[in-house]
Amino acid sequence: MIDIVMMTGTGVLLGLAIGLVVRYFGVPVNPLVESLNELMPGANCGGCGLAGCSDYANAMATGRAKPGLCPVMSAEAVAKCCELLGVESDTTEPKIAVVCCSGDDDHAAKQAFYNGVNDCLNAMLVAGGSKGCTYGCLGLGSCARACPFGAIEMLPNHLAKIHADLCTGCGKCYMACPRNVIKLVPRSAAKVHVYCNSPKKAPIKRTVCKAACIGCRKCAKTAGEGQIIMNGYLASINYDNPPAEGIVEVCPTKCLRKAD
Amino acid sequence: MSEQTTIRMPDTSKLVVSSSPHYHDMGSIPKIMFTVLAALAPAVFASIYFFGWRALLVLSVCMVSCAAIEALLCRLMRRRISIGDGSALVTGLLLGMTLPVTSPLWMCIVGSFIAIGLGKMVYGGLGGNPFNPASVGRVALLLACPSAMTTWVTVSGCALNKWVVDATTGATPLELVAQNQPGPGFWSLFLGNIGGSIGETCTLALIVGGVFLIALKIIRWQIPVFFIGTVFLITGIAYMVSPCPKFNPMTHVLSGGLMLGAFFMATDMVTSPLNRKGAVVFAIGCGIITTIIRLWGSYPEGISYAILIMNALTPLIDRYTAGRPFGVARKASQKNA
Amino acid sequence: MSHKMPEKSGLNKGDQMNKQIKFYGGVKLDEGKMTSNEPIISAPLEPLYTVPLQQHIGAPAKAVVQKGDKVLRGQLLGEAGSFVSAPVHSPTSGTVRELSSCLGPAGAQLPAVVIESDGEDTAAEPLPIFANWQEASPDELKARVAEAGIVGMGGAAFPTAVKLSPPPNVTIDTVILNGVECEPCLTADHRLMLEHTETIITGARIIARILGVKQIIIAIEMNKPDALEMMTKKAEGTGVEVVGLRVLYPQGAEKQLIYTVTGRKVPSGKLPAHVGCLVTNVSSAAAIADAVCLGKPLYERITTVTGTPVAKPGNILCRVGTPYSSALALCGGVKEDPLKIISGGPMMGMSVYSLDIPIIKGTSGILLLAADEVSQYTPNACLRCGRCNDACPMEMIPGILSSTIEFHHFSLAERWHVMDCIECGCCSYVCPAGRPLVQHMRRAKAVANATRRAAEAASKK
């Protein structure tokens, strides 16, 4: 009996002590920052340009940044932030990342067998990687490891594939890719893409990749004015004025495809 | 007449590219592990000689179950199956060597599971474990099945014609000295004609194996020398102060798991310090703890505990014995440690 | 700060070997010097030379010729792009076919001038020959070194004229010529020391005159006794000291060489000049002597073509811009297909996938490795065995560093002195887990450099 009383008494005393400490020694928190923090997605991806979700919440509370910079937050969450702060949001067009390369092991030639750390940035240190095309995806997964949302799948034949439904356009993969194969494009305009990244001449490109853009200009001629721009011998979509989806029929190498 | 020999140019389509260096001394983990197994072979033969063929069964069951459990756990953890590097076999053999010959086989399997599962795989496989897996397995069994782990048999000469030596239980030399009774003489201790666990009795076989590993630079000589030396020194000093069988340095050095532990278990590269200075500190620590447990603790044998405690201190030892890189000034390195 | 003067030699006497300072770590390698006795062969003229404008550390050279220009041997093709840069000269007479790019040994594309040779090999006017260089001013001599496009020919290719201009607050009192050639298989420097001994010694004395230094030491590893003997004989009375060093890789690494020869340790992050020393390769010294005494700019070098698959390994005097395939053809091609082709030596060379790469000023060797000589790196974890620490000449712990880098803790790696790594390869050589340690170090260094550059750019804004 006395044990129960002692244990209960100790528990109550300790609880009181903790309560008093929290009351008198607690760090004062801004309740606005707390409620903003709860609206944050918590991915800490840095897509807003700040150092993580709580940094962004602090910045919004102190007026350093406006709501709407976060590529992950839903529209309702952004609206709630605006309500709390009494400001208008900075609308940014939601973006999505695309790996503009079709050169997996079945299509692209390897110029050597790379033996070393299985990472694209590391492979670049060794003879520039083992892929024949110096603009193509190395397929070793630096982007997949950089993605905080797990949106990038490394296909078994060494090509990165970004899943549009999981991608939030935060841009981490774009920064990780040493070949600049990943492009950040507006989500609304991301219907068709040119899955090739090399501006080299067709005869050179074709020796190293069967799926390359040969620069035949068929798409540019068929599409509307200024919808497809030639960048060297590489077609590129103008995402401010994208062509209709039917344009994919004219591509002879099928590097111009619907977004998959 | 000039000979026009056609010059053959190489086919450059199947070359390998890698970072420098392009030479390697061809050492590898399987080579190290199988060399350790070879170094333990004399002790295995000695154990069969003194304890009978059941010793071989216990050792085999331990080795096979360690390998099987590692393969199974790799599968479950979706990792590349790593038993090809031989480390599971070494763990199994060392674990078996620390068990008595009368161990029930289910105990061997449980011990293997704990050694490999809790001693290695939870840390991500070879290289990640802070504790020697064989010691972990042995200590777990010691704590869980204390009576089975301390059932010794009486050894008397050759037992090759027996399955297992007659099960009249006898005390090991360490148990005898713990009760302050005189232990066996030098030659019995040295050749292994004594009681104990399977692999720890034949000092000669273990020293041969250990010297073999030191000569091949697989283990650092500092660890066995300082470990055994410290035990000898402390027991020797105690013996000089009060000469009684309990402190007899000869018995302490030549019996129990000291030779096995010092040459094969404390020297495990993953769990021992990185450099020579650290190895010396580690070995002296092991020696001190072993002697304290043996002389003033309640267990007659303290090697496994000593090794595990020093394994826990290895990262700390590494940190303080890591030298300064070439050209780094003293003040700068202290700031960045 | 006063430096301890090195003891007068005794370093090349056998009984003094155990008194010679031994640097920490290092590995004993199988030397594989198949071509030590092969005299230098001059390569015949190529029909086409692809001369990169970036053959050195620093800014690429800026082209001063255009497509269609006629050029002569030794004529300026590109002038130095900045202070840390070097000019590039034509290897032969002919026409500039085009200004394009070519594959370099590191895998990157280099800007290049393609020269179609006219077969005449007419020389341009040499740079004005110094009648008596012993009386020329140090600045004039240094300007000549810069004009001739001399770079470090041991492989690093740092512009020598920049090296000969130390920061204002340091004084150099010792010049060390690196004839160690500790890389296995390479013998270019060895043959040069045997066949052009006096040129090297003259080059050393010119360097000493430029810097105002009295102490000149030529260091040679003891596995080249003929070169040691020849050099000692020819150096008598010239004020140049010749020392024989123990055979241990990487004795020829700058910091380890300075430590063994003078007992001074170059502080982390500082230059050898900060301990009063300057180290140059013997080939660079010979090139300096040619530039001063013959007015000849740097457009050719000795390259060792070697390896078990090579039919007739040898040391070839090649002009820059010669493709590797031509150098290999001169050595009889191959007996079997190699599995690796390396530009440089086996420990620090770069593996390449094409023979169309041109020889440049820093190409000391072309090494072919057969399939049974190639070992593969594995993705095993670090065993914490400590062998890498025992082998590392910079006394670091590459194993732990590589685990840190593998988990992307780059700032921690930088704090643990990864920038001090000399990429010698001793650690990977001994690693039983087969980890690609040097690749991890290079990755961390690349990240540290990029962070530093970004910070500099941000602070400039």
Across A70-74, B1-5, C268-272, C278-282, least confident range: B1-5
Distance in angstroms (rounded) separating the CA atoms of residues A17 and C363: 74
Among A111, A124, A127, the residue with its CB nearest the CB of C350 is: A127
Whose CA is closest to B255, among B210, B202, B302?
B202
Looking at beta carbons, which residues of chain A come within 8 Å of C354? 111
Among C267, C347, C438, the residue with its CB nearest the CB of B329 is: C267
Complex-level ipTM = 0.90
Query: Six-digit token pair at C143?
Result: 């300007």
Among B8, B31, B127, the residue with its CB nearest the CB of C381 is: B127
Cβ-defined contact of A113 to B19 (cutoff 8 Å): no
Among B17, B32, B126, the residue with its CB nearest the CB of C353 is: B17
Looking at beta carbons, which residues of chain A come within 8 Å of C377? 115-117
Cβ-defined contact of C353 to A117 (cutoff 8 Å): no
Whose CA is closest to B81, among B93, B91, B69?
B69
Point out the residues of chain C with pLDDT beneath 70: 1-18
pLDDT at A101 > cutoff 80? yes
Q: Could you tell me whether strands C88-89 and A95-99 are parallel, antiparallel, or unpaired per DSSP bridges? A: unpaired
Size of interface A-B (CB pairs under 8 A): 22
Which amino acid belongs to residue A197? N
Map tokens 């400590």 to a residue: C386
Query: Six-digit token pair at C397?
Result: 């712990």
- pLDDT given at position C300: 95
Residues of A with CB under 8 A from a CB of C: 111-112, 115-118, 121-122, 124-130, 134
pLDDT at B130 > cutoff 70? yes
End-to-end CA distance of chain B: 73
Partners of chain A (3+ Cβ pairs below 8 A): B, C
Looking at beta carbons, which residues of chain B come within 8 Å of A114? 16-18
Higher pLDDT, C187 or A72: C187
Residue A95 pLDDT level (bands cut at 50, 70, 90): confident
- Please count the other Cβ atoms lying within 10 Å of the Cβ belonging to residue C341: 27
CATH number for B30-321 (one of 3.90.220, 1.10.3430, 2.60.120, 1.20.1250): it is: 1.10.3430
Q: For C329-345, how does the pLDDT look when each residue is reduced to its tens digit (9 = 90+)?
A: 999 999 999 999 999 99
DSSP character at residue B10: P
- Give CA angle at A25 (A24, A26), nearest 5°: 100
- pLDDT given at position C16: 54
- pLDDT given at position B245: 86
Q: Chain C: nearest CA to B255, how far in angstroms? A: 29
Q: What value does the CA radius of gyration of chain C take, rounded to a whole number of Å?
A: 22
- pLDDT given at position B333: 53
- pLDDT given at position B170: 72
**Cβ burial C268-290 (10 Å sphere, 16+ → b, else e):** beeebbbbbbbbbbbbbbbbbbb
Which amino acid belongs to residue A71? P
Q: Chain A: nearest CA to C238, how far in angstroms? A: 44
Cβ-defined contact of C353 to A122 (cutoff 8 Å): no
Distance in angstroms (rounded) separating the CA atoms of residues A122 and A142: 9
Q: What is the DSSP string of B226-241?
A: HHHHHHHHHHHHHHHH
Looking at beta carbons, which residues of chain A come within 8 Å of B14? 112-113
DSSP character at residue A191: T
- pLDDT given at position A30: 82
Q: Which residues contact C184 (CB under 8 A, 6 or more apart)?
A: B23, C29, C30, C31, C32, C33, C249, C345, C346, C347
Q: Where are the alpha helices (DSSP H) in B77-104?
A: 87-97
- pLDDT given at position C3: 40
- pLDDT given at position C12: 46
Distance in angstroms (rounded) separating the CA atoms of residues B225 and B213: 13
Looking at beta carbons, which residues of chain A come within 8 Å of C352? 127
Q: For C165-204, how does the pLDDT look when each residue is reduced to its tens digit (9 = 90+)?
A: 998 889 999 999 999 999 999 999 999 999 999 999 999 9
Contact A72, A93 (CB under 8 A): no
pLDDT at A90 > cutoff 80? no
Q: Domain map of chain A by residue range?
A: 2-85, 95-258
Cβ burial, residue C316 (10 Å; 0-12/13-18/19+): buried
Distance in angstroms (rounded) separating the CA atoms of residues C277 and C172: 5
Q: Chain A: nearest CA to B20, how far in angstroms? A: 9
DSSP character at residue B9: P
Within 152-191 of C, beta carbons closer than 8 Å to A belong to none
Which of left, alpha, beta for A242 (phi over 0: left; psi -120 to 50: alpha)? beta
Domain A2-85 is found in CATH 1.10.15.40: yes
| A134 touches B: beta carbon within 8 Å | no
Among B125, B325, B336, the residue with its CB nearest the CB of C381 is: B125
Q: Chain B: nearest CA to C289, how far in angstroms? A: 33
Contact B52, B160 (CB under 8 A): yes
Cβ-defined contact of A130 to B19 (cutoff 8 Å): no
DSSP character at residue B118: I
Among C109, C354, C439, the residue with its CB nearest the CB of A125 is: C439
- pLDDT given at position B4: 56
Cα C340–chain centre separation: 21
Cβ-defined contact of B17 to A125 (cutoff 8 Å): no
| A140 touches B: beta carbon within 8 Å | no
- pLDDT given at position C18: 63
Cβ-defined contact of A115 to B14 (cutoff 8 Å): no
Among C184, C397, C429, the residue with its CB nearest the CB of B274 is: C397
| A19 touches B: beta carbon within 8 Å | no
Cβ-defined contact of C377 to A118 (cutoff 8 Å): no
End-to-end CA distance of chain C: 37
Cβ-defined contact of C377 to A116 (cutoff 8 Å): yes
Tell me what the mean pLDDT of segment B232-239 comes to.
Answer: 94
Map tokens 């006794």 to a residue: C225
Which amino acid belongs to residue B62? C
Q: Chain C: nearest CA to A124, how far in angstroms? A: 8
Mean of all residue pLDDT scores within chain A: 88
- pTM: predicted TM-score of the whole model, two decimal places: 0.90
Contact B183, B245 (CB under 8 A): yes
The CATH superfamily of C132-293 is NADH-ubiquinone oxidoreductase 51kDa subunit (3.40.50.11540)
Residue A21 pLDDT level (bands cut at 50, 70, 90): very high
- pLDDT given at position B2: 45
Q: What value does the CA radius of gyration of chain B take, rounded to a whole number of Å?
A: 23
Q: Could you tell me whether strands C174-179 and C109-117 are parallel, antiparallel, or unpaired per DSSP bridges? A: unpaired
Cβ-defined contact of C438 to B20 (cutoff 8 Å): yes
Cβ-defined contact of B18 to A116 (cutoff 8 Å): yes
Question: Within 13 Å of residue C236, how many CA atoms lie on the same side as its CB?
Answer: 6
Contact C162, C8 (CB under 8 A): no
Cβ-defined contact of A127 to C379 (cutoff 8 Å): no
Cβ-defined contact of B17 to C384 (cutoff 8 Å): no
Partners of chain B (3+ Cβ pairs below 8 A): A, C
Contact A122, C408 (CB under 8 A): no
- pLDDT given at position C17: 58
Cβ-defined contact of C353 to A115 (cutoff 8 Å): no
- pLDDT given at position A26: 85
Whose CA is closest to A198, among A162, A223, A235, A167?
A235
Q: Domain map of chain C by residue range?
A: 132-293, 387-453
- pLDDT given at position B332: 55
Q: For A197-232, how does the pLDDT look when each residue is reduced to its tens digit (9 = 90+)?
A: 998 888 888 888 988 898 888 888 888 888 888 888
DSSP character at residue C243: E
Q: Return the beta strands (E) in A134-219 as ranges.
A: 152-155, 159-162, 182-186, 192-194
- pLDDT given at position B314: 96
Size of interface B-C (CB pairs under 8 A): 185
Cβ-defined contact of A115 to C376 (cutoff 8 Å): yes
Cβ-defined contact of C436 to A117 (cutoff 8 Å): yes
Tell me what the mean pLDDT of segment A126-146 comes to.
Answer: 89
Whose CA is closest to B264, among B272, B255, B254, B275?
B272
Whose CA is closest to A197, among A120, A109, A100, A125?
A100
Query: Six-digit token pair at A199?
Result: 């501006």
